Amino acid sequence: MSAIKEMPMAKAITAALRDELAADQKTLLIGEDIGALGGVFRVTDGLQAEFGTHRVIDSPLAESGIIGACIGMAMRGYRPVAEIQFDGFVFPAFNQITTQLAKMHNRTDGKIKVPVTIRIPYGGHIGSVEHHSESPEALFAHTAGLRIVAPSNPQDAYWMTRQAIVSDDPVIILEPKRRYWLKGRVDMENPAPDAFRAQVLREGTDATIATYGPLVPVALAAAEAARADQRSIEVIDIRSISPLDDETIARSAAKTQRLVVAHEAPTFGGMGGEIAARVAERAHPRLLAPVLRVGGFHMPYPPSSQEHRYLPDIDRMLEAVERSFSYQRGV
């Protein structure tokens, strides 16, 4: 059997979970409906049958309970992997994640490690009802002690999941649910790059679009479309939100001299602002325009019948690129 397989992202995550469950007896999965049902997105499909009800645990309907119990299990030497059913339902666990999970290692002066992985299907564009399309990354990124990654393709999904589980730090994996069915090659033998590094996915010379998770395919399509206008766009998959690989992003921005950062989350107070500030610090003299942001609006996630206007698409990215070209320096 070849080590390279073609599969959708959801299946790549299933494979990663299976491989980690098999590799380490101390790895456990816990979440709502993850057993017989295999999770509402079927990401844990078949794992309970394979590993038993005590390794793949159907939890009570209690998000704070899931994360709090994961902390206790991790204190005792386990590597629990929690599934939060939907992004909008992580907030009942916000307290456990931010005041307990994130701080435990620090407040015990390094004596307690809590290697908990939290998988959250996140983001919009699945036409769902409210609280099913949230992008909470900035809320967690602001909390020291957490690591946050967002895969954008099956290969990354597989390896980031494995790297997250073996990390001794708490890691939140934001799984772009609209990409669960996106197919791609997964090389099960040759790891993807370090989960906590950004990656240049497409080289370009005129401007850079940096994004992560669900918008990576959109950025690649935007770059392709810009070619028709003789614009060469570099695309960066940010991959890791905390730590943020600002160096890779700034290097690209210094090269192309224009940067657009895109995410689904609202721009106000979001990761885009953080990245803009960091890139400005590192590459200010090289930039021909301010770093521009493309993202959601400062409103609760709208009813999904309107999400096509709320979410960044190819045109919104291209508009930002063009706006970047409209700036003139030194006038």
> Radius of gyration (Cα) for the chain, nearest Å?
20
**Does residue 132 carry a catalytic annotation?**
yes
Minimum CB distance to another protein smaller for 67 or for 173: 67
Pairing of strands 207-211, 56-58: unpaired
Q: CA–CA separation, 211 vs 95, rounded Å?
A: 28
Minimal distance in Å, beta carbon 43 to another protein?
22
What binding mask, one character per residue, do residues 6-45 give for another protein by CB under 8 A, x or -?
Answer: -------------------xx-x-----------------
Question: Which listed residue (83, 234, 245, 264) binds another protein by CB under 8 A?
Answer: 245
Minimal distance in Å, beta carbon 112 to another protein?
7
User: Are residues 215 and 190 in contact, defined by beta-carbon separation less than 8 angstroms?
Assistant: no
Residue with token string 């001794």: 168
Minimal distance in Å, beta carbon 316 to another protein?
28
Question: Which listed residue (4, 49, 144, 277) binds another protein by CB under 8 A?
Answer: 144
Amino acid at 57: I
Question: Which listed residue (54, 190, 326, 331) binds another protein by CB under 8 A?
Answer: 54
**Helix, strand, coil shares, percent, the chain, to 5:** 40, 20, 40
What binding mask, one character per residue, do residues 67-106 give for another protein by CB under 8 A, x or -?
Answer: xxxxxxxxxxxx-x-----------x--xx--xx----xx
Looking at 132, 263, 298, 308, which residue is catalytic? 132
Minimal distance in Å, beta carbon 180 to another protein?
28
Minimum CB distance to another protein smaller for 164 or for 207: 164
The answer to whether 272 contacts another protein (rule: CB under 8 A) is no
Tell me which DSSP letter residue 168 carries: S
Question: Omega into 243 within 30° of 0, i.e. cis?
Answer: yes
Question: Total residues contacting another protein (rule CB under 8 A)?
Answer: 50
Minimal distance in Å, beta carbon 90 to another protein?
15
Question: Which listed residue (36, 108, 284, 315) binds another protein by CB under 8 A?
Answer: 108
What binding mask, one character per residue, do residues 159-188 give for another protein by CB under 8 A, x or -?
Answer: --------xxx-------------------
* Sheet arrangement for strand 259-266: 199-202, 233-237, 207-211, 259-266, 292-296
Minimal distance in Å, beta carbon 129 to another protein?
24
Strands of the chain, DSSP E? 4-8, 27-31, 56-58, 79-83, 117-122, 147-149, 171-176, 183-187, 199-202, 207-211, 233-237, 240-242, 259-266, 292-296
Closest to 198 measured CA to CA, from 243, 231, 147: 243
Closest to 53 measured CA to CA, from 35, 37, 39: 35
Closest to 257 measured CA to CA, from 215, 232, 286: 286
The answer to whether 112 contacts another protein (rule: CB under 8 A) is yes
Minimum CB distance to another protein smaller for 25 or for 306: 25
Show which residues are catalytic: 132
Residues near another protein (CB under 8 A): 25-26, 28, 54, 59-60, 62, 64-65, 67-78, 80, 92, 95-96, 99-100, 105-113, 115, 144-145, 147, 167-169, 196, 242-247
